[in-house]
Chain A
């Protein structure tokens, strides 16, 4: 018996016209946590789909050896039967079913007459929940727990299938720091119980924290596997982008002018539970050419603040004043907000930002069709020209602007969203998690774009849960906790420690 639980040998996978994987070899040791990183589109997910049988045997070249045996999976059920379970980035849970029902979905705990034994189901689920450290009743509905806890339910589900090799595709992408830490601890805990994990991640600090080895994939090739002792961020980044990134953040010399936007006493309540205050008397301002960061944990009210400000897209009983250049403006509807020079790029591009079945061109023009109107008709050649200019200036990687946005990688989708708002020509841009789920190279480009916008004299508000990012690009940072602004720091005074302290500051009760 070798020490490797998994050996993928010379895996090559081609799609019509594209070689997604080329001779990729991956060895994963028994009981280790193996990280895989690479830019979006590098081939990480394809490799994992080959491994888990999503792409069945015969559609790729090369061999998979699992537990010293060549395996040929026909589908996911085959790979699960061998103990390989993949947890996708988009969780596969049914929101209206209970935790226990989700755990045993398609693996129901049966009693007599083939009927479901609910006592057993809930009892077994409770045991699994204890193993992953989730203190919830097994009968709680999935929709009533947060994303962090849902992730744990997915892992409990994997455990119920007697998992030997657990694959996690960007498990912390949607989690806040606290939930991420908990999840990473759990992965290490499972490692103690002999469960091997493969974790796909963009976040270099968490890779360093949990993994025993890191394999970097670039352009469908495995660049190298680095042992834990040799892992450095610089080396991983260099492998990922194929070049040195001198700085993670582009240089930015602020040229700050007059105040553009001031928000006073902004308050909003939960849309259904109208007695629950979600945004609590927020005061903030942004000046021309300034990049203002808002640091807060998930659920702190950051997105809720931005969306309630942007045309009351969130919340109820909204009150407060918005002043632009010192004059009060109204932002009761999205179009009113846009007309007043405010733009908001959502944290969830796929659900709230893009029309994925439509092309790049029409997505860019979506918020500003009035500009393209000539005698009542949309000037479509002009639209093409505008979109093409954005494709070039924003470096959107697509052969033409007629490509559907659903086919673009996360980074390029984000550039389309930003193009849409830049074309709307606002004075203030609110960017909510602008680099979520985007690889390192594209992040740098997004930061460069943000800098350019500030250099043009626009006010930019960046909401992010990644502190290094906020510290790297902002001129001033607000912290938000439980819907309240808990601190304001010029960049020179901001340190991760003080920010975290203020981000977790609780209300005096």
Chain B
């Protein structure tokens, strides 16, 4: 009766041995394409390592790179999620300044314990997110407008809280958030054993997880990449982590900021890839109407996205304040633009629906290396700005070009 049942299924599922070599090459190429941003980071690092006669890769400088860019990377994590959902947040710099000022009042003026100050400050960030999320999700005002208003509102409130003066001299536990290191546990060594140990564990965990994923996929008879390539990639990643850990160990050990970042990347990586909430963010960014008609509560997702962004902006504000040991009116100036740049350099799509946490982090690191490398070379702030602008433009242009090539039918 139905010719649907009798028709042989098109396309075979197991590629023959003939196709294996071709699939190997195509895997490498597609991986290179997908990880183009990672390669770009490597190229930028190599370029500046060469230009600065290796100063860029000195242990102290590598450690500084993380600590100096920590708050931008924290913001980039939240920002890329907002961008994937098809929104934007212009207010994060002002929110960071506002929360930094509030934390100064809590920890310095009121003398609250450092941990309570931090919790209260994060709570204020969340409330800011509730405020902005309400207007965006439930009133339906575009995020661009709401957060543009927020940029002004919270900059203003930061000044009100500061009352025309800076707040300084934070408690040392608080300051550790911005410039502390985890070294003192085992005492002072040439190479910090804790750092090396953590790195070894991280590598082990990464390999276990990769192997498990691979086995899981094979069990469900999904195509996996060729074994040689799989191993080669793991070796490369191991070497990279190893070098990085060596550099940190040779300096002061693991920066507290890095721990915060690692936790964020790990948790949000899972949220975006493996939780229903994360999937809904991608679905909304890809096609809001289709998501709505599939039963996804788009308003709720939008709302929580901004609550999340507000909280992360608060965290960035705390790290920045802790690093400077000062809550001032100029804090957070231009952070939003660096975070947005990081997300876009990291491959997020302007229209939404595309982007990754890892990409945003690497995008942020590229900006960081550019900042750092050019500073070492003694290039003035004016040219640094221009170069960063150009890199953003080129990165997105490259992305657009790639998509056009891939999408051309």
Q: Which residues of A contact B (CB under 8 A)?
A: 15, 250-251, 310-311, 313, 333-335, 337-338, 344, 346, 351-358, 362, 365-367, 369-370, 373, 376-378, 380-382, 384-385, 392, 395, 397-400, 406-407, 420, 444-445, 448-449, 451
Residue in A355, A376, A377 whose CB lies within 8 Å of B286: A355
| B188 interface hit (Cβ, 8 Å) | no
Contact present for A420 and B294 (CB under 8 Å): yes
Contacts of B120 in A (CB 8 A): none
Chain B residues lying within 8 Å of A376, measured Cβ to Cβ, are 275
The segment from B104-112, B128-136, B217-225 that touches chain A is B217-225
Listed A/B pairs (25) with beta-carbon separation below 8 Å = A15-B409, A250-B2, A333-B297, A334-B294, A334-B296, A351-B287, A352-B290, A352-B293, A355-B353, A357-B349, A357-B354, A358-B353, A362-B282, A365-B279, A366-B283, A376-B275, A377-B275, A380-B273, A381-B219, A382-B220, A384-B220, A392-B9, A397-B10, A407-B407, A449-B4
Which of A333, A357, A376, A445 has the most CB atoms of chain B within a 10 A radius of its CB?
Answer: A357
Chain B positions within 8 Å of A335 at CB level: 295-297
Is there an interface contact between A400 and B223, defined as CB atoms closer than 8 Å?
yes
Give every chain B residue within 8 A of A354 (Cβ-Cβ). Answer: 287, 290
Bound-state CA distance A397–B294 (Å) is 23
> CB within 8 A of A395: which of B7, B222, B283, B409?
B7
For the complex with contacts A310-B293, A356-B287, A366-B279, 19 further pairs of A-B residues with Cβ separation under 8 Å are: A333-B295, A334-B292, A334-B295, A335-B295, A335-B297, A351-B290, A352-B293, A353-B290, A355-B282, A355-B287, A355-B353, A357-B354, A366-B296, A370-B276, A381-B220, A382-B220, A392-B9, A395-B10, A444-B3
Q: Are B286 and A358 in contact (CB under 8 A)?
A: yes
Residues on B with beta carbons closer than 8 Å to the beta carbon of A362: 279, 282-283
Cβ-defined partner of B289 (8 Å) among A351, A370, A420: A351
Cross-chain contact A355 with B1 (CB below 8 angstroms): no
Q: Are the C-beta atoms of A381 and B275 separated by less than 8 Å?
A: no
Chain B residue at smallest Cβ distance from A252: B1
B293 touches A344 (CB 8 A): yes
- A313/B291 contact (C-beta < 8 A), A251-B1, A357-B353, A399-B11 known: no
Contacts of A373 in B (CB 8 A): 276
A397 neighbours in B (Cβ, 8 Å): 10-11
Shortest beta-carbon distance from A376 to chain B in Å: 6
Contact string, B136-178, partner A, CB cutoff 8 A, digits 1/0? 0000000000000000000000000000000000000000000
How many pairs of residues, A versus B, come closer than 8 Å at their CB atoms? 109
Binding site for A on B (CB under 8 A): 1-4, 7, 9-11, 216-217, 219-220, 222-223, 270, 273-276, 279-280, 282-283, 286-287, 289-297, 349, 353-354, 407-409
What CA separation (Å) do A354 and B293 show in the bound complex?
10
Residues of B within 8 Å of A313, CB to CB, are 292-293
Among residues of B, the one whose C-beta sits closest to the C-beta of A366 is B294
Please indicate the chain A residues that have their CB under 8 angstroms from the CB of B9 in the complex: 392, 395
Closest CB in chain B relative to A200 CB, distance in Å: 17
Which partner residue on chain A sits nearest B292 by CB separation? A334
Measured CA separation A124–B302 after assembly (Å) = 48
| CA distance in complex: A335, B286 (Å) | 19
**Chain A residues, Cβ within 8 Å of B279:** 362, 365-366, 369, 378
Complex partner residue of B222 from A344, A381, A398, CB under 8 angstroms: A381
Q: Do A352 and B289 form a contact, CB below 8 Å, given A251-B1, A369-B276? A: yes
Q: In the complex the two chains form, what is the Cα distance from A338 to B23 in whole Å?
A: 41
Q: Which residues of A contact B409 (CB under 8 A)?
A: 15, 407
- A335 to B299, alpha carbons, bound, how many Å? 13
Closest beta carbon of chain A to B232's beta carbon, Å: 22
**B11 partner residues in chain A, CB cutoff 8 A:** 397-399
Residue in B2, B294, B295, B297 with the greatest tally of chain A CB atoms within 10 Å = B294
Q: CA A381 – CA B220 in complex, angstroms?
A: 6
B291–A355 contact, CB under 8 A? yes
Chain A residues, Cβ within 8 Å of B219: 381
Do A445 and B4 touch across chains, with their CB atoms under 8 A apart? yes
Complex CA gap A367/B279 in Å reads 11
CB distance from A433 to the nearest CB of B (A): 15
Q: For the complex of A and B, list the 7 residue pairs with the smallest distance between their C-beta atoms, beginning with the closest.
A: A355-B286, A335-B295, A367-B294, A381-B220, A377-B274, A334-B295, A338-B295
Evaluate contact between A377 and B270: CB separation under 8 angstroms. yes
Residues of chain B within 8 A of A381, CB atoms compared:
216-217, 219-220, 222
Q: CA A395 – CA B4 in complex, angstroms?
A: 8
Q: Chain B nearest CB: distance from A73 CB in Å?
A: 19
Asked if B282 and A448 sit within 8 Å, CB to CB, the answer is: no
Given the known interface contacts A334-B294, A366-B296, the answer about A384 and B7 at a Cβ–Cβ threshold of 8 Å is no
Judge whether B2 and A378 touch: CB under 8 Å: no
Q: CA–CA, A357 to B220, complex, Å?
A: 24
In the complex, the answer to whether A378 meets B4 with C-beta atoms within 8 Å is no
Cβ-neighbour of A334 out of B216, B280, B293, B353 (below 8 A)? B293
B82 to A: closest C-beta gap in Å: 18
CA distance A365 to B290 in the complex (A): 13
| Docked CA distance A210–B88 (Å) | 51
The one of B280, B282, B297 in contact with A358, judged by C-beta atoms closer than 8 angstroms, is B282
List the B side residues contacting A451 at CB < 8 Å.
2
Which residue of the partner chain B has the closest CB to A391? Answer: B9
Pick the contact of A367 from B216, B273, B286, B295 — CB < 8 Å?
B295
- A400's nearest neighbour on chain B, judged by CB, is B223
Contact between B295 and A355 (Cβ–Cβ < 8 Å)? no
> Considering the chains assembled together, what is the distance between the CA atoms of A476 and B286 in angstroms?
37
Among B217, B293, B349, find the residue whose CB has the most chain A CB atoms closer than 10 A.
B293
Closest to A397 in B: B10
Q: Report the nearest B residue to A352, measured CB to CB.
A: B289
Q: Which residues of the other chain, A, contact B220 by a CB distance below 8 angstroms?
A: 381-382, 384-385
Q: How far is the CA of A168 from the CA of B378 in the complex (A)?
A: 62
**Would you give the shortest CB distance from A185 to chain B, in whole angstroms?**
34
Q: Are B274 and A380 in contact (CB under 8 A)?
A: yes
A473–B220 alpha-carbon span in the complex (Å): 37
In angstroms, Cα B349 to Cα A333, docked, is 30
Whole-angstrom distance from the CB of A418 to the nearest CB of chain B?
13
List the A side residues contacting B353 at CB < 8 Å: 355, 357-358
Q: How far is the CA of A165 from the CA of B363 in the complex (A)?
A: 51
Interface centre among A351, A352, A382, A400 (most CB of B within 10 A): A352
Q: In chain A, what residue has the closest Cβ to B284?
A: A355
